[in-house]
Amino acid sequence: MSRSRPQFRPARRSFSAFMALVVMAALLVLPASPAGAATAVTGDTFSSTTNGGTFTEVPSPLGGSSFSYTGTAAALNAPGGAGEYEPWVDGNHAPTLSQAVTDAGDLDLVAAFDSTPVERFQLQGIIISDASNNFLRFDVHHDGTQMRCLGGEPTSSNSADHVAFDVAVSTGSAAFLRVVRTGNTFEAFVSETGLAGSYTSCGSLTKAMTITNVGVFGGNARPASGQAVPAYSALVDYFGPFVAPDSLPSQTESDVTNPSISNESLAVSNTAVTFNFEVSEPATGTAQVLSHGSVVTSTIPVAFHGGTITGLPADTNLTLRLNVTDTAGLTDTKDVAFKTSGSATAPVIEVFYGPQQTFGSPGTTQRWVNIVGNVSDPQDNL
């Protein structure tokens, strides 16, 4: 899959040679980077279809999250529905790729994303934690209207520290998130291109901590009370020490593996079907009941899909067709047969000549009477 911006994966180079380039490039393009001793972090370009081991997969304690690797990015998949998969006051519930580090001072990290939040409280970011599971959270997220950049210490006993800053940024700024630590000051930056000199500061916070882990996460939160949480997949192109993508050789990437639909579940009524399914890698999707309605299950690549199609005929055998397309344009289709239940609407009885009628004569038994009218069924079952 061709990309419009320079990529972090060099062509035909070993990973160790690439990381040597990363270190050299970082020294060349970062005159504004923190001075003095630095905390060593090993970066990863996620150019394999499996986890290369640079980062440890930390699934959400809520269950249901997953990780997948397309060969061009790592996908951190958070399902939609009821759970909120985010780092917040009750702990980190977001699927996270984490790396243990030894704190040696200053820090300069960047996460390059191939995903963009489009629904309220879809989010992706960087988490920095200590041995007591206290952590700092820096993310880009959508608020339903625009993109925002947030930083804070959710685990602080002081609620004022939970969100240190939350500012509006451009939509394209979701592509690159950078966090710089100088002494006890942590500052977040965003960029649309990742090029040196293109970063804009979101804000900073002060925290004295001994860092034991750094990580990149993707997740979601509830848009509003009573609303379902939107599924989201953060696609991570690179995470590690800061390096400008233009300092490395660019390449055309290729994803040759088709996505695969699995774990379909259906809830069927007399006139509707509600469905959920998973995809082996983030993909956009649609669903259609053949000869009837259709819905878009996601306009951005995600691993968890769902929806509801209404207006179906009762007591009828039907087919639900699921279609997905990954970021490389590869597809998968699956048909799922189901049957709607019988009519939940009672037949309509219309009695001619009114609800009160008189038959026969007083004292004379009449064994039967003819009541004239119509019976109809809105579902056409009669």
Mean of pLDDT values over 160-179: 95
Spatial distance between the Cα atoms of 141 and 166, rounded to a whole number of angstroms? 10
Indicate whether 241 and 310 sit together in one domain.
no
* In a domain? residue 344: no
The residue with greater pLDDT, 191 or 8, is 191
Query: Is the pLDDT confidence value at 158 over 70?
Result: yes
Q: Is residue 92 part of a domain?
A: yes
Mean pLDDT, the chain, whole residue set: 86
When pLDDT is cut at 50, 70 and 90, the band that residue 368 belongs to is confident
pLDDT of 320 reads 97
Q: Is 281 in the same domain as 228?
A: no
Question: Which domain-ending residue is among 193, 218, 247?
Answer: 247
30-34, 268-272, 325-329: which has the minimum mean pLDDT? 30-34
Are 165 and 35 found together in one domain? yes
pLDDT at position 373? 83
- Whether residue 366 lies inside any domain: the answer is no
- 125 and 158 within one domain: yes
358 pLDDT above the threshold of 90: no
Q: Are residues 210 and 314 in the same domain?
A: no
CATH of the domain at 313: 2.60.40.10
Which of 195, 215, 247 terminates a domain? The answer is 247
At residue 378, the pLDDT reads 60
DSSP state of 19: H
Q: Which domain holds residue 303?
A: 261-339
User: Range with the lowest mean pLDDT among 40-49, 263-272, 330-339, 352-361?
Assistant: 352-361
Domain shared by 275 and 239, yes or no: no
Considering its fold, how many domains does the chain have in total? 2
Residues 226, 121 share a domain: yes
Lowest-confidence pick of 28-32, 178-182, 255-259, 311-315: 28-32
pTM of the model: 0.79
Q: Are residues 78 and 46 in the same domain?
A: yes
pLDDT value of residue 189: 98
pLDDT tens track for 323-353: 999 988 999 999 999 999 986 566 788 887 7
Do both 207 and 155 map to the same domain?
yes
Cα separation, 307 vs 277, in Å, equals 10
Top-confidence residue, 366 or 152: 152
- In this predicted structure, what is the pLDDT of residue 366? 74
Mean pLDDT (whole number) for 11-23: 37
Residue 363 covered by a domain: no
pLDDT tier for residue 27 given thresholds of 50, 70 and 90? very low
Joined tokens for residue 321: 């067709």
State the pLDDT at residue 340. Answer: 95
User: Does any domain span residue 187?
Assistant: yes
Q: Is the dihedral of CA 156, 160, 161, 162 positive or negative?
A: positive
Same domain as 188, residue 281: no
Q: In what order do the strands lie in the sheet with 96-100?
A: 56-58, 96-100, 211-220, 122-130, 135-142, 147-152, 165-169
Does 172 have pLDDT greater than 80?
yes
Contact 237, 8 (CB under 8 A): yes
Task: Report the C-alpha gap between 170 and 354 in whole angstroms.
Answer: 68
Q: Is residue 353 part of a domain?
A: no
Encode pLDDT of 104-145 as tens digits: 899 999 999 999 999 999 999 999 999 999 999 999 999 999
User: In this predicted model, what pLDDT tens digit does every residue of 51-65 receive, in sequence order?
Assistant: 999 999 999 999 999
Contacts from 168-171 at CB under 8 Å and sequence distance 24+? 169/140, 169/200, 169/202, 171/116, 171/146, 171/147
Q: Do residues 94 and 22 both lie within one domain?
A: yes
Same domain, 182 and 121: yes
The per-residue pLDDT for 281 is 94
Domain annotation covers residue 27: yes
Tell me if 165 sits within 8 A of 185, measured CB to CB. Answer: no
Interval 4-27 mean pLDDT: 39
| Average confidence (pLDDT) over 306-328 | 95
Residue 212 lies in a domain: yes
CATH code, domain with 70: 2.60.120.200
pLDDT digits (tens, 9 = 90+) for 188-210: 999 999 988 899 999 999 999 99
Confidence label for 361 from pLDDT (cuts 50, 70 and 90): confident
Cα dist. 356→55, 348, 367, 371 in Å?
80, 18, 18, 11
Residue 53, phi-psi category: left (phi > 0), alpha (psi -120 to 50), beta (remainder): left
Does residue 82 have a pLDDT over 80?
A: yes
Contact 255, 46 (CB under 8 A): no
Give the pLDDT confidence of 243-260 residue by residue, as tens digits.
877 664 454 456 778 999
Average pLDDT value for residue range 1-16: 39
pLDDT at 253: 55
* 340: its two tokens: 């709607």
